[in-house]
């Protein structure tokens, strides 16, 4: 463990971080900085597990854009046109207006569905279960606002995109 935390961590009030360099699928260097638990005083190590959080949205967006570039999906197509095992619950709004680009930009009118930490011995729910609200205490994904009219952050919108890519 390197105890010389980067200045950026102090400036942004980040208690701990882990950094790794990966080449050709192999970790060639890694280290930890700061604290994994401020309350317990546990230091970050190269084995510390962090919640991935919204970092996964970048990877999901990259995957979606790869499918767009290879002609497998269209940004302007309704997300449901690519799904076979899940559909939006009934709503006052037309689900065909929930396009790939609107989900990517959080303008699809979708509600915010947060994931909740599950006990370590409990398996992760399937993507469909997560979207249906079987996600450790959350609610199901639905269209709450008119698609295309305003920004409304939706974590589960990206789960929906992951299901679309899986299909």
Catalytic residues: 54
Q: How far apart are CA 88 and CA 36, in angstroms?
A: 39
Beta bridge partner(s), residue 21: 29
Beta bridge partners of 35: 43
- DSSP state letters, 107-144: -S-BPP----PPPTTSPPPPHHHHHTT-SSS-----B-
User: 83-94: buried (b, 16+ CB within 10 Å) or exposed (e) per residue?
Assistant: beebebeeeebe
Q: Which of 114, 105, 103, 111 is nearest to 163 (CA)?
A: 103
């Amino acid at each position: 463990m390197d105890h010389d935390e980067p200045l950026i961590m102090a400036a942004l009030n980040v208690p701990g971080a882990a950094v790794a360099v990966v080449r050709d699928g192999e970790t060639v260097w890694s280290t930890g900085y700061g604290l994994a638990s401020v309350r317990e005083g546990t230091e970050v190590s190269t084995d510390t597990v962090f919640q991935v959080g919204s970092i996964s949205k970048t990877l999901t967006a990259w995957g979606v854009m790869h499918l767009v570039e290879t002609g497998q999906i269209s940004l302007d197509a309704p997300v449901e046109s690519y799904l076979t095992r899940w559909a939006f619950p009934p709503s006052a709004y037309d689900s065909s207006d929930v396009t790939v680009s609107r989900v990517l930009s959080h303008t699809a009118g979708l509600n915010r569905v947060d994931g909740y930490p599950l006990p370590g011995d409990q398996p992760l729910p399937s993507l469909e279960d997560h979207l249906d609200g079987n996600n450790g205490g959350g609610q199901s994904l639905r269209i709450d606002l008119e698609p295309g009219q305003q920004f409304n952050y939706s974590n589960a919108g990206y789960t929906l995109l992951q299901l679309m890519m899986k299909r």
